[in-house]
Amino acid sequence: MRRVVVIMLAMLLGQSAVAETIVDTLPVTSNDRGIEFKMLGKVASYDEITLAGYINAHLESVKKPGTTVKAGDVVAKLDTQFLEIERALAQVEVSKAKDQIAYLNKKLNRSKALKVTNSISEEMLETLQQELSVAKSALARAQLTLQDLDLKLKKAVMVTDVDAVVSERYINRGDYVSVGTKIVKLIPFNGVELIAQLPIEYNSEFAPGMPIDIESHLGRYTVKVARVLEVANSDTQSIQVYITPSTALANKLVMGSQISLTASLVGKGTFSVPLDAVIPEKNGAYVFKLGTNNTVEKTLINVLASKEDRYIVTGEVAPGDELVTRGMRSLRDGDSVIKRVVREQ
């Protein structure tokens, strides 16, 4: 009887030993290197200026799309030959009206003196006053015509009042422009932005006004987050990050184009975990965290980025937690394991 009990006990101990999987583990560490990730940014605008014809004329010159212009630069110019001729004629009319008024004033003053001695009739005096009134009206009309022509001449030379880039040209040099015809579109440098779409897990990492370091074929720049919007469809959720570029970067961007960016940010509340510890699944990923009494706990995480041989994640993990990196294939939540100590390289 005693022999049977010993055999049964040995069998139970053997089954228990087999049930415990031997695993390797590595620790969770703090993410002191930040998050670095790649994204595709679309160059767009939230502000634009359209210059249109103020007069009917041929287009004499216009800047090409992609041209950088500064405040005060001429962007387009209309042919003003006919306006200049009209202005010269209007100036003649102003001078004639002024001469006529001066002549009639002298004549009226002499007539008033003669009226005292009854050398001129009241009717003739009234006629002179009426002629003077007509001359003054003619002067006012001529001056208004001159002012209108001066305004048209000024508007014919289209000058930008902000630093901008020419994003689109609607007509070419030599084409006929009517009043209201669109000629060119400008995007102010302070109206350019980059739009990038990222997984929803990044939502907590961005806030309006925060700086981000980005790098592309155009160079390395520090930019700012303008706003963040959540985007949802039937399958996934994501965020759109609107980025305000620096003036130096905005000068190099082409409206409507896309640019590959590598971005870096601090990554509040993120941790670094071993690459081999992460197990992907349909709606995310998880790790097996070593708990008390050498049992494992299945823990959900959000993978934000990869860096060398580790992932940057958020979730219910903390620096110092031991994660299973080998032997997790057949593990289930709550299983007992035997930890084999492995030093991290």
20-33+269-340: in CATH 2.40.420.20: yes
Tell me the percentage of the chain whose pLDDT exceeds 90: 46
Q: Is the dihedral of CA 256, 257, 260, 266 positive or negative?
A: negative
Q: Is the pLDDT of residue 250 over 50?
A: yes
Dist CA 17 CA 337 (whole Å)? 10
Per-chain mean pLDDT for the chain: 85
* Between residues 233 and 274, the one the model is more confident about: 274
pLDDT score for 5: 39
Where does 81-153 sit in CATH, by number? 1.10.287
In sequence order, which residues have a C-beta less than 8 Å from that of residue 42 and are 6 or more positions away? 194, 195, 196, 256, 257, 258
Distances in Å between the Cα of 222 and the Cα atoms of 189, 202, 219, 250 are 16, 19, 10, 12
pLDDT confidence tier of residue 275, bands split at 50, 70 and 90: very high
pLDDT score for 6: 36
pLDDT score for 38: 83
Q: Is the pLDDT of residue 140 over 80?
A: yes
Q: Is the dihedral of CA 179, 182, 184, 187 positive or negative?
A: positive
pLDDT score for 19: 57
Contact between residue 297 and residue 324 where contact means Cβ atoms under 8 Å apart: no
Q: Taking the domains of the chain in order of start, what are their residue ranges?
A: 20-33+269-340, 36-46+191-265, 53-79+157-188, 81-153
Other beta carbons less than 10 A from residue 221's beta carbon: 18
> Residue 328 has which token pair?
């997790």
- pLDDT tens-place string over residues 313-337: 888 999 999 999 998 888 999 999 9
Contact between residue 99 and residue 136 where contact means Cβ atoms under 8 Å apart: no
* Between residues 140 and 122, the one the model is more confident about: 140
Strands 21-27, 337-340: parallel, antiparallel or unpaired by DSSP? parallel
- pLDDT tens-place string over residues 179-204: 999 999 998 887 888 999 888 877 87
Segment 209-232 shows an average pLDDT of 89
pLDDT confidence tier of residue 63, bands split at 50, 70 and 90: very high
Bridge partners (DSSP) of residue 322 are 27
Distances in Å between the Cα of 174 and the Cα atoms of 50, 61, 153, 243, 274 are 19, 8, 18, 39, 66
**What b/e string do you get for 140-159 counting C-beta neighbours within 10 Å, with b at 16 or more?**
eebbebbeebeebbebbebe
Which class is domain 53-79+157-188? mainly beta
Contact between residue 24 and residue 325 where contact means Cβ atoms under 8 Å apart: yes
- pLDDT tens-place string over residues 84-110: 999 999 999 999 999 999 999 998 888
In CATH, which superfamily holds the domain spanning 36-46+191-265? Efflux pump adaptor protein, beta barrel domain (2.40.30.170)
pLDDT score for 267: 67
Dist CA 301 CA 330 (whole Å)? 19
Reference 82, options 113, 99, 57; nearest CA is 57
SS3 at position 315:
strand
pLDDT score for 273: 92
pLDDT score for 330: 85
Dist CA 324 CA 340 (whole Å)? 10
- pLDDT tens-place string over residues 286-310: 999 998 888 999 999 988 777 778 8
